[in-house]
Amino acid sequence: MDRARGTSDPAEGEVSGVGAHGMMFGMTQPPVPPSQNPYDGQTPGPRTNIRPGRPEHTMQLPTPPPSYQPSPPPAPPAPPAPRRSGLGAGVLAGALVIGGLAGVGGAVGYEKLAGSDDTTVKTADGGTIDTSQLNPLDIVSVNSVAKAVLPSVVKITAALDNGTGGTGSGSILTEDGEILTNNHVIEIADTEGATLTVSFNDGTNAEAELIGRDPATDLALIKVKDKSDLPPIQIGDSDATEVGQAVVAVGSPYGLEATVTAGIVSALHRPLVLPLESDPNQASVYGAIQTDAPINPGNSGGALVNMAGQQIGVNSVIQLARGADGGTGDSGNVGIGYAIPISDAMPIIKQLRASETPTHARLGVAGEDAEFSPLVSGGAEITEVEEGSPAADAGIEAGDVITSIGDVHVGSWYGLLAAIYSFRPDESADVVLIRDGEEQTVNVTFGSDAE
């Protein structure tokens, strides 16, 4: 995973904080002319003994691959081809349906299906599709979702007085201007002399101030000055998100504000543990929503929404293609992006709004990836349990291999860290583990890293 932070100074052209696993994190786009390429990658050394906001966790991050060096923004796309059936035409033109009827070959209105007793739709080749089990939201057009969501998504520019900085995205939470974004988008704003500027969908701009940020979950809250009657985005329930459902990503990739892309949810609970640019001994931790909706530099902090126009994720990270030598290459979007689940984000935002230090669930263990065995194809092997910790109280022991927490599968040590962060302090969950070749279940009540 490559993690790149843009800078607006093409003379320095620095990309800092390259992480692990072929992923780019910190997708701020430098506000420079398209003819210049500010990305001259810089790769830091290996990350060791990283403690992601919880002193009991120790992990070894692999040596990062070569840094990401994207090309300048591409030329404007050619005019779209004539309308044709299939998902590709539907998501590009916004004229065809997306989801269960994406291949029908024509636009089918929500009202027609929702208000009709006819449970079949004819396809272009004369066949039929049974719609009786279809969720009507899956056939809402991308166009209608975009119209509803675009006014609630903004472009954010964070800059120092010397001109360095970058751009990202955010979503409006309140009428008086609270905006949700990524920590890595606005981190530079927590510096003396820095400025934050928000650009709205109607073409107006406004200054903003930093309310608070949480590097451990890569979340931040800013507020626009002297604004009212702004259109807040609807907040959805990411816990109800399902693999395969249609989603729309909205943001400002490469500084191109009010950009809309569409796709599906590819997977859930993808464990991301990424070292911070500002402090390699700390990391952002979350179990991400994976999507194939195109996400690019500058989309960070923007909204991933369902077909009801509700935000279910905060776009944050993209996967990079690997070259023949195992390094990353500038191949553009490869259809693998990640978003922070909104249901995990909102408790953190609530604490930031109240000027509190964000807290995170704590288990009290150290560990590593479990070795493959006939009994275990993946999991987190516990190497140490802190005395008096939630893990100790639950009866977890060194040598146990944890394979799930609640309904979240744990396939690795990183998977365990991300699963823990999906819970809140004082919440309880069943932990499935293997001890001495036998599967057991214990119940744990998580502590807090504030303790």
381 plus 345 within the same structural domain: no
In contact, 338 and 171? CB cutoff 8 Å? no
More confident residue, 66 or 222: 222
- Give the pLDDT score at 83: 33
**Is the pLDDT confidence value at 124 over 90?**
no
- Give the pLDDT score at 322: 66
**Is the pLDDT confidence value at 424 over 90?**
yes
Residue at a domain's end among 76, 109, 140: 140
In contact, 408 and 269? CB cutoff 8 Å? yes
Cα–Cα distance measured from residue 409 to residue 270, given in angstroms and rounded to the nearest whole number: 10
Looking at the domain assignment, is residue 112 inside a domain? Answer: yes
Catalytic residue among 2, 138, 214, 218: 218
Q: Which of 312, 319, 339, 337 is nearest to 219 (CA)?
A: 339
For residue 199, what pLDDT band results from cuts at 50, 70 and 90?
A: very high
409 plus 444 within the same structural domain: yes
In contact, 379 and 365? CB cutoff 8 Å? no
**Is the pLDDT confidence value at 422 over 70?**
yes
For residue 426, what pLDDT band results from cuts at 50, 70 and 90?
A: very high
The owner of tokens 């070894």 is 60
342 plus 374 within the same structural domain: no
Looking at the domain assignment, is residue 189 inside a domain? Answer: no
Looking at the domain assignment, is residue 408 inside a domain? Answer: yes
- Give the pLDDT score at 49: 29
Exposed, middle or buried: residue 61 (CB in 10 Å: 0-12, 13-18, 19+)?
buried
**Is the pLDDT confidence value at 132 over 80?**
no
- Give the pLDDT score at 372: 79
Residue at a domain's end among 323, 351, 379: 351
**Is the pLDDT confidence value at 378 over 50?**
yes
- Give the pLDDT score at 127: 63
328 plus 366 within the same structural domain: no
319 plus 270 within the same structural domain: yes
For residue 326, what pLDDT band results from cuts at 50, 70 and 90?
A: low
Q: Active-site residue 141, yes or no?
A: no
Per-residue pLDDT tens for 340-355?
Answer: 999 999 999 999 999 9
pLDDT, mean of residues 418-437: 96
**How many domains, in total, are found in the chain?**
3
- Give the pLDDT score at 110: 35
Looking at the domain assignment, is residue 130 inside a domain? Answer: yes
- Give the pLDDT score at 329: 55
- Give the pLDDT score at 328: 55
250 plus 308 within the same structural domain: yes
Q: Active-site residue 218, yes or no?
A: yes
Cα–Cα distance measured from residue 273 to residue 20, given in angstroms and rounded to the nearest whole number: 9
Per-residue pLDDT tens for 381-391?
Answer: 999 999 999 99
pLDDT, mean of residues 304-319: 94
Taking phi over 0 as left and psi of -120 to 50 as alpha, with beta for the rest, 119 belongs to: alpha
In contact, 319 and 68? CB cutoff 8 Å? no
Per-residue pLDDT tens for 156-175?
Answer: 999 998 878 889 999 999 99
Cα–Cα distance measured from residue 129 to residue 74, given in angstroms and rounded to the nearest whole number: 39
Q: Residue 302: give its domain's CATH number.
A: 2.40.10.10
Q: Active-site residue 331, yes or no?
A: no
For residue 192, what pLDDT band results from cuts at 50, 70 and 90?
A: confident
Catalytic residue among 57, 184, 269, 360: 184
What is the DSSP secondary structure assignment for residue 34, as one 8-state letter? T
Looking at the domain assignment, is residue 196 inside a domain? Answer: no
260 plus 347 within the same structural domain: yes
370 plus 410 within the same structural domain: yes
**Is the pLDDT confidence value at 24 over 70?**
no
- Token couple for 267: 């997977």
Q: Residue 417: give its domain's CATH number.
A: 2.30.42.10
386 plus 419 within the same structural domain: yes
pLDDT, mean of residues 347-367: 97
Residue span of the structural domain in which 388 resides: 361-448
What percentage of the chain exceeds 90 in pLDDT?
Answer: 55
pLDDT, mean of residues 410-424: 96
For residue 58, what pLDDT band results from cuts at 50, 70 and 90?
A: very low
Q: Which of 292, 321, 291, 296 is nearest to 72 (CA)?
A: 296
330 plus 386 within the same structural domain: no
Catalytic residue among 252, 300, 389, 412: 300
246 plus 323 within the same structural domain: yes
Looking at the domain assignment, is residue 36 inside a domain? Answer: no
382 plus 427 within the same structural domain: yes
Q: Mean pLDDT across the chain, nearest whole number?
A: 75
- Token couple for 368: 């590593």
More confident residue, 11 or 170: 170
